[in-house]
Every structure is written in C-alpha cells, then in structure tokens.
C-alpha cells in the first residue's frame, strides 16, 4: 500500500510520532508500505513568504529548489521516527525516487517514475518515505503545484502497482458537502472517480483533481481518511455504492471568490473565442464557466468566469484585444461564487437542473450563469448568498430520500 500524509498530519513532532505508529502498525499487519509526505503544517506558505521578502518576482527554478525543502524535512523526520520503532526506513527526494516530470517550474506534470530504487528498498524490507509535490527535469528540481503530494502518491501507487493508496488528512473522509457550512453533511462510504473528479474540480478540497484523474486512469483505489482517528474513510473507486446510490445527487461543491467578465457584441468571423481564450491561457489565466449567446447575426456576447485573483490580469488582456475583437462593451462583476450539485444518478433522472433552479429561486438567489455536464450542474450566484444556497440545496437533494430512477 501507499500511504500519503498531508501537512496537518505531519505538522508537529507529536503528529510525526503518531504517523510513525500508524505506519509501523501497517507493517506489523504484513503490508508492504511506501509513504509519501507533504511539508509540515504551513511550511510551504512560510517559504513562499520568505522568497517574497527577498524578491517580489522569484525565478521559477530557484523557487522550486526552495519549496522542495519543506517535504525533505518531513520525509527525514518520519524516517527517523520509524527507525526508532525498529522499522527500517529511508527518505527519498523526488529525484531519488525516480519521479521525472516535464520541464516546467511551479506546476509540472509527472511523465514517468523509474521505480528501481523504490522497489529495491521494498525488497530489502525498508519503508521508502518519499517527498511529495516534487520531481526532477533537466537536472533541476520541479514542483507539481498546490495539492501535488496527492498526485505524487497516486503516481507512486500506480507505478508500484499498489493495491490501495491511502490519503491521510485532517478530515475523516469525503462528505456530501463541507460540514463547516452544513452541520448535517454526511460522510460518504464510497464515491466514484467521475463524481470525485467533478467535486474536486468544483471546489471540494479533500483531493487534488489531478490525483483523481491519475487514479481513474490507472485504476488505483483511493481511501480518504483521517490520521487523527481510526475511523473508516471514504473509498474512491470506479463505481460508487451505498448511501449515494439512494440519491440522485452525491455531493454539493462550491467555490468562493469568483468574478465574471462579459464581452458584449463580439464581431462574428474574427476568431474571437480562439483569440480571447488562447491569449488568456498563454498568460496562465484559468477560465472556468463560459457562455456564448448569439444576439444578432453578426455579433455574439461572450461571458466567462475567473478567480478574483486573476480578474485584473484578465481585464487587461481582453482590453488589449478590443481592436481585434471589435466588441462594443466590456462588463465585469466580482463578489460572486459557484455552487454545484454532482451525482452519477443525474444521468438517468431528468429535471434535476430544474429542481436546482427552483430551490435557488425559492430562496431568492439569482443565477448569473449556468454550466452543466452529464453528472453536474453549476450555478454562478452572489457570494453573500452562497452558504444559504448550499444549505438549501443540501436539504432538497440530500436530506430527503430521493430514489434514483431504475435504468
């Protein structure tokens, strides 16, 4: 098995001792264990702040070299704690573990893992304790971006053909929504890869989307559970079972700090969409919901959402494209949020979107934009009404017995 421990799980010496106890117990049960760790607590944030004190624009290569040190501290300390318990262990940096990435700093993707060193350690009865979040490309340290340790763990599990990848965090599993917003939120016993991927992409922060993508691609069973208790967690596999099978909607995800940009009267025939979204992508502005409507034969209106942090950059970019696009007006709106319902049961149940819109209308919550897929419906709404929307949708879809239609 591969066990991944997040920053809160290794946030202090006491927590590291508890993690070592859990790993040692798994070894006593006869499991071969490889471990992936994050940096302790808020170490990564502290390193980012340190770099910004030196220079407002740190160079990517050196930033990765700096940030990678956080996980090295955790890995070495966990290996030491295991040695104290009579469990042979050895820390591995990303490059020592054979994790090769594309040559991108700050958000690299893993290309392949040479497992020779890890397999040699396992054969020798040694627990490899691997730094998450990092790899190597062109002889330089690279990092995988926020949440990258989840991705490292799944990739290692796939490369080693592990039976399971356990993701240990500070929550006891995947819930129907954030329990801090809805006190009646329920923990799911099972959730499918597709549902978890939608939930992760739509704001649920339990698992990183890229980790779920890789788990689905390589069919790695995941378990999300707490390192603070012995409580059973949530299984993420190809198909879901149990509670969520009795409901059309499996979970409700949300994101705060959303902004909307609207281009009014974009001239048709100028490759407008390609210009706008190609230029935004080239400048690393992530666009989420996109809506285009034909107003006249020669013009269209285009609206899209970005995170609040990116709205100023996005506005500068689209203003610079005005001569090319020929739009007549530019409108932006901040103070928005996105709320989404997700569930595989939606495929065979018509009218789910209509019910969502009705619930929001009954709560006097205006819908600014809508995005759908087979298993999700997302609405852009005012941020001040987000918590109320989540609670009302949770009550309507998940606190009432709603049978899934028979196929």
CA distance linking residue 80 with residue 395, whole number of Å = 48
Q: Strands (DSSP E) along 61-220, which ranges?
A: 89-92, 99-101, 110-113, 127-131, 134-137, 140-143, 165-169, 190-192
The encoded tokens of residue 401 equal 């017995």
Q: Which of 54, 144, 56, 164 shows the shortest CA–CA distance to 100? A: 144
Cβ neighbours for 23, distance < 8 A, ≥ 6 positions apart:
3, 33, 35, 78, 82, 87, 127
pLDDT at residue 267 in the model: 77
Question: Going edge to edge, which strands form the sheet with 376-382?
Answer: 290-296, 299-307, 251-267, 329-342, 376-382, 369-373
CA distance linking residue 153 with residue 158, whole number of Å = 9
pLDDT at residue 266 in the model: 83
| Residue located via tokens 């006097």 | 364
Asked if 110 and 135 count as a contact pair (C-beta separation under 8 A), the reply is yes
Q: Which of 156, 62, 143 shows the shortest CA–CA distance to 103? A: 143
CATH architecture of 252-398: 2-Layer Sandwich (3.30)
Alpha helices in 29-59 (DSSP H): 43-54
Q: Are strands 127-131 and 34-37 parallel, antiparallel or unpaired?
A: parallel
Domain edges within the chain: 2-243, 252-398
CA distance linking residue 386 with residue 228, whole number of Å = 30
- Count of other CB atoms within 10 angstroms of residue 263: 24
Residue ranges in the chain modelled with pLDDT below 50: 243-244, 403-407
Residue 353's Cβ-count burial label (10 Å; 0-12, 13-18, 19+) is: middle
DSSP assignment of 215-284: HHHHT--EEEEESSS----EEEESS--GGGGG-S--EEEEEEEEEEEEEEEEETTS-HHHHHHHHHHHTT
DSSP 124: T
pLDDT at residue 17 in the model: 98
pLDDT at residue 147 in the model: 82
Cβ neighbours for 56, distance < 8 A, ≥ 6 positions apart:
none
Asked if 248 and 201 count as a contact pair (C-beta separation under 8 A), the reply is no
- Helix, strand, or coil here: 371? strand
Alpha helices in 29-147 (DSSP H): 43-54, 60-84, 116-123
Asked if 80 and 143 count as a contact pair (C-beta separation under 8 A), the reply is no
Q: Residue 127 forms beta bridges with which residues?
A: 89
- Count of other CB atoms within 10 angstroms of residue 158: 19
Q: Is the pTM of this model over 0.75?
A: yes
351: left (phi over 0), alpha (psi -120 to 50) or beta: left
pLDDT at residue 246 in the model: 58
What is the separation of C-alpha 278 from the centre of its chain, rounded to a whole number of angstroms? Answer: 23
Q: What angle do CA 286, 152, 117 make, to 5 degrees?
A: 145
Residue 315's Cβ-count burial label (10 Å; 0-12, 13-18, 19+) is: middle
Asked if 361 and 353 count as a contact pair (C-beta separation under 8 A), the reply is no
CA distance linking residue 59 with residue 69, whole number of Å = 16
User: What class, spelled out in words, does domain 2-243 have in CATH?
Assistant: alpha beta
302 phi and psi angles, rounded to 5 deg: -125, 125
């Amino acid at each position: 098995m591969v066990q991944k421990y997040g920053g809160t799980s290794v946030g202090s010496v006491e927590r590291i001792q508890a993690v070592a106890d859990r790993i040692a117990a798994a070894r006593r049960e006869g499991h071969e264990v490889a471990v992936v760790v994050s940096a302790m607590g808020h170490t990564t944030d502290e390193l980012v702040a340190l770099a910004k004190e030196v220079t407002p624009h740190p160079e990517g290569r050196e930033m990765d070299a700096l940030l990678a040190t956080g996980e090295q501290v955790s890995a070495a300390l966990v290996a030491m704690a295991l040695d104290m318990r009579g469990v042979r262990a050895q820390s591995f940096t990303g490059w020592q573990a054979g994790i090769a990435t594309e040559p991108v700093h700050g958000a690299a993707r893993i290309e392949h893992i040479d497992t020779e060193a890890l397999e040699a350690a396992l054969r020798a009865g040694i627990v490899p304790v691997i730094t998450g979040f990092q790899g190597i490309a062109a002889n330089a340290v690279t990092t995988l971006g926020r949440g990258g340790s989840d991705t490292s763990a799944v990739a290692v599990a796939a490369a080693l053909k592990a039976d399971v990848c356990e993701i240990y965090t500070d929550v006891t599993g995947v819930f129907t929504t954030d329990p801090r917003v809805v006190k009646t939120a329920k923990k799911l016993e099972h959730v499918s890869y597709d549902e978890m991927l939608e939930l992760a992409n739509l704001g649920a922060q339990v698992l990183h989307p890229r980790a779920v993508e890789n788990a689905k691609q390589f069919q790695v069973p995941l378990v999300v559970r707490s390192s603070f208790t012995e409580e059973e967690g949530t299984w993420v596999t190809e198909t879901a079972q149990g509670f969520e099978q009795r409901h059309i909607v499996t979970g409700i995800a949300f994101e705060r700090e959303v902004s909307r940009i609207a281009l009014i009267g974009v001239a048709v025939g100028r490759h407008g969409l390609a210009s706008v979204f190609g230029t935004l992508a080239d400048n690393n502005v992530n666009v989420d919901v996109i809506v285009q409507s034909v107003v006249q034969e020669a013009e269209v209106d285009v609206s899209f959402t970005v995170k609040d942090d990116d709205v100023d950059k996005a506005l500068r970019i689209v203003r610079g494209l005005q001569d090319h696009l020929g739009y007549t007006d530019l409108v932006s709106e901040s103070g928005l949020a996105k709320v989404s319902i997700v569930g595989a049961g939606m495929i065979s149940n018509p009218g789910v979107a209509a019910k969502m819109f009705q619930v929001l209308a009954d709560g006097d919550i205006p819908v600014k934009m809508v995005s759908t897929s087979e298993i999700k419906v997302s609405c852009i709404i005012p941020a001040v009404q987000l918590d109320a929307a989540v609670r009302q949708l949770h009550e309507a879809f998940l606190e009432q017995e709603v049978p899934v239609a028979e196929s």
